[in-house]
Copies of this chain bind each other. A is one copy, B any other.
């Protein structure tokens, strides 16, 4: 009966469990196949390449030369001029003494230059994580009432961040970062920018009393409740600084070559602010200044790590959340700049580098560092060639700490506020949000969940809400896989979705359905219902007895895997179809699916002759059997 010309389906014996498991693990954890190139090397070369793989420094340092160094030197100096004001500002955001912001730009860059795989990433502290740390840890220990305990808990949280990041890197769980979607990050960044800007109203208006909450309502409430503390002098100075900074940003957009103006603008603001405060005795006019900054390098802080069970939950939690966000930001930014130069970064290596940076940082009075967007962009534009620019920045910071730090004591807080506000205003990506709204409403909802959650509730609630929605969507994707009815496109052997290609014609007596996505417990009930509905609809349309469906072809080309529940659903489906007198055939099952079907004896149950390699083959065969059954009936 079988059509002799048909192509054979390959019923190979299923691979052993060990082989399949090894292949799956490799695909899951080593999709980039890092050791592929080393396979055919000699042992000594292999060792060398492995060391180079784990410590990227050894990869680029041997080829390093003076020409490259000229570029890196310039970039390093440029980012230092950004690192000083940002370090001081963000330390204020994290509610720790400003000097720790400078410390955090000294040790970590050296660590990163050894282990980091990105050429353009500039290491530093980030605003969002600084505020998040202060919000989370501040709930347990007040930075005002017990600053020492608070500082020690910040170091401890940084330590946990480091451990977490290193562990994820070694376990090759870069996959976790994949679950922070683009929409989540856009919304989170936007929301964070809003609340950080609002926080700066404290510095702008020279307020003394403020709230520890970060949401829009509390912050605006606090600002207006303390109207009596508003100082116009402070506000005027702040607005001038902010206008200057925004102007330099505008200039950069208009003339990309003038990027260095906006790069050094924050430093200019700090220096001008210091001079102004020093000569005008600003303190007496209600303009607060940073206050004493001690000369000297980072003191060790390893002895301050606090593992008291009372504080452990909060430090671990703060460490994990900020670690994840910092990592996502750092990896995403490193990647996007690498792409511009058609280069690649390795997410897992980056995680290990960030992890070491934070572990060592937590031992040496640094708090959470990663690769911030603004600094990295400046580094890239300043023409950095390798991670050496971070080394240059580290040296510059060392000199600053040793000699210049005390000079910054006159920095007006309002200057720092202006710097933070200006940086944050650039992070609200309106265009992207509008784009999301236009293209994908669900992505927009995910984005808004993060944006509004962060703005009106708190940073971690916003983040979790958004990630939760994104996961829900992922689960819905798998729970409701698209199925469609195929028809034949005239004058070809192609079968395509009848909805998408209205010209395609159905085949008499044969229903062809295409299933997409893996089939397993979460969607097998749905698939059964959906297939039965197609049959019901089909038979509803054609009332005449001749047009009745006799064959159901399931095209499984798009089904990448199946589990036991899925196979049992197919068996169930076959029983139901049998009772309706419909024959089930399977078209083009993929290797993983066919293996499972063979193991579960499904192939034997429906018969190997019911498996086809192409829809055309299957349809030919069905026609043949339709025809012969009709002839038999007529003869009888």
Question: Closest CB-CB distance, A296 to chain B, in whole Å?
Answer: 43
Q: Is A537 an interface residue (CB 8 A)?
A: yes
| Set B12, B28, B439: member contacting A564, Cβ < 8 A | B439
**A339 interfacial by beta-carbon distance below 8 Å:** yes
Report chain B residues within 8 Å CB of A575.
339, 342
* A471 B480 Cβ-Cβ under 8 A: no
CB distance from A315 to the nearest CB of B (A): 25
Which of B17, B175, B479, B533 contacts A33 (CB under 8 A)? Answer: B533
Given A440-B596, A492-B7, A599-B438, A518-B477 contact (CB < 8 Å): yes
**B516 lies within 8 A of A591 (CB):** no
Contact A482 B520 (CB under 8 A): no
Chain A 168-211 residues near chain B, CB threshold 8 A: 174-175, 177-184
Most chain B C-beta atoms within 10 Å of own C-beta, residue among A184, A476, A537: A476
A531 to chain B, nearest CB (A): 10
Q: Are B500 and A563 in contact (CB under 8 A)?
A: no
Given A175-B479, A494-B614, A559-B516, residue A474 in contact with residue B7 (CB < 8 A): no
Q: Does A583 lie at the interface of the complex (its beta carbon under 8 Å from any beta carbon of B)?
A: no
Please give the distance in Å from A10's CB to the nearest CB on chain B: 5
**B10 touching A339, Cβ below 8 Å:** no
**Pairwise interchain contact B477-A443, C-beta atoms closer than 8 A:** no
CA distance A494 to B493 in the complex (A): 10
Contacts known (A178-B521, A183-B565, A438-B599); A482 close to B592, Cβ less than 8 A: yes
Is A613 positioned at the interface, with any CB of B under 8 Å from its CB?
yes
Q: Which residues in B have their C-beta under 8 angstroms from that of A529? A: 31-32
**Contact indicator B489/A7 (Cβ below 8 Å):** yes
Any chain B CB within 8 A of the CB of A2?
no
Residues of B within 8 A of A32 (CB): 529, 533
A36 lies within 8 A of B537 (CB):
yes
- In angstroms, Cα B580 to Cα A344, docked, is 13
| B600 x A439 contact (CB < 8 A) | yes
Q: List residues 1-31 of chain A with CB under 8 A from any CB of chain B.
A: 7, 10, 12, 17, 21, 27-28, 31
Question: 1/0 per residue A563-589: CB within 8 Å of B?
Answer: 111011000100110011000000010
Q: Does A470 contact B (CB under 8 A)?
A: yes
Instruction: Count copies of this chain in the complex.
Output: 2
Chain A 460-492 residues near chain B, CB threshold 8 A: 470-471, 473-482, 484, 489, 492
Q: Which residues of B contact A479 (CB under 8 A)?
A: 28, 175, 178-179
Using A529-B32, A568-B182, A590-B482 as known contacts, say yes or no to A477 and B599 having CB atoms under 8 A apart.
no
Q: Would you call B600 and A10 a contact (CB within 8 A)?
A: no
Query: Which residues of chain B come closer than 8 Å to A482, judged between CB atoms?
Result: 560-561, 590, 592
Which listed residue, B27, B530, B560, touches A516 by the CB 8 Å rule? B560
Interchain nearest-CB distance for A464 vs B (Å): 16
State the CA gap A632–B471 with chains docked (Å). 51
Cα separation A156 to B592 with both chains bound (whole Å) = 48
* Number of interface residues, chain A, beta carbon within 8 A: 99
Q: How far is the CB of A488 from chain B (nearest CB, A)?
A: 12
By a CB distance below 8 angstroms, the chain B residues around A501 are 10
B10 in contact with A500 (CB, 8 Å): yes
> Roughly how many angstroms separate A525 CA and B181 CA in the complex, as a whole number?
10
A32 to B535, CA, bound (A): 12
A 484-528 to B, binary, CB cutoff 8 A, 1 in contact else 0? 100001001110110111000000000000101110111111100
- How far, in Å, is A527 (CB) from chain B's closest CB? 9
What B residues does A521 contact at CB under 8 A?
Answer: 178-184, 470
CA distance A436 to B561 in the complex (A): 16
Q: Are A518 and B517 in contact (CB under 8 A)?
A: yes
Check B494–A342 contact: CB distance below 8 A.
no
A557 at the interface (CB under 8 A from B): yes
The reply to whether A494 and B563 contact each other, CB–CB distance below 8 Å, is no
Inter-subunit contact B178/A474 (CB<8 Å): no
Measured between alpha carbons, how far is A183 from B568 in the docked complex, in Å? 11
Residues of B within 8 A of A523 (CB): 178
Q: How far is the CA of A179 from the CA of B518 in the complex (A)?
A: 14
**A295, CB-defined interface residue at 8 Å:** no
A443 touches B533 (CB 8 A): no
Set of chain B residues within 8 Å of A443, measured between Cβ atoms: 563-565
The reply on A558 being an interface residue by CB < 8 A is yes
A225 proximal to B (CB < 8 A): no
Instruction: Tell whether, in the assembled complex, residue B588 and residue A474 are in contact, meaning their CB atoms are under 8 Å apart.
Output: no
Q: B558 and A558: CB pair below 8 A?
A: yes
Are A475 and B474 in contact (CB-based, < 8 A)?
yes
Determine if A564 and B347 form an interchain contact, defined as CB atoms under 8 angstroms apart: no
Which residues of the other chain, B, contact A600 by a CB distance below 8 angstroms? Answer: 435, 439
Kindly state whether residue A226 has any CB partner on chain B within 8 Å: no
A48 in contact (CB, < 8 A): no
Minimum C-beta distance from A591 to chain B (A): 4
A441 at the binding interface (Cβ < 8 Å): yes
A-B contact list, 29 entries, CB within 8 Å = A21-B441, A28-B476, A31-B526, A36-B533, A36-B537, A175-B480, A178-B479, A180-B521, A181-B521, A182-B564, A183-B564, A339-B575, A339-B576, A435-B564, A438-B599, A440-B563, A443-B563, A473-B520, A474-B475, A478-B518, A482-B561, A494-B614, A497-B591, A499-B591, A514-B557, A516-B517, A516-B518, A516-B590, A517-B558
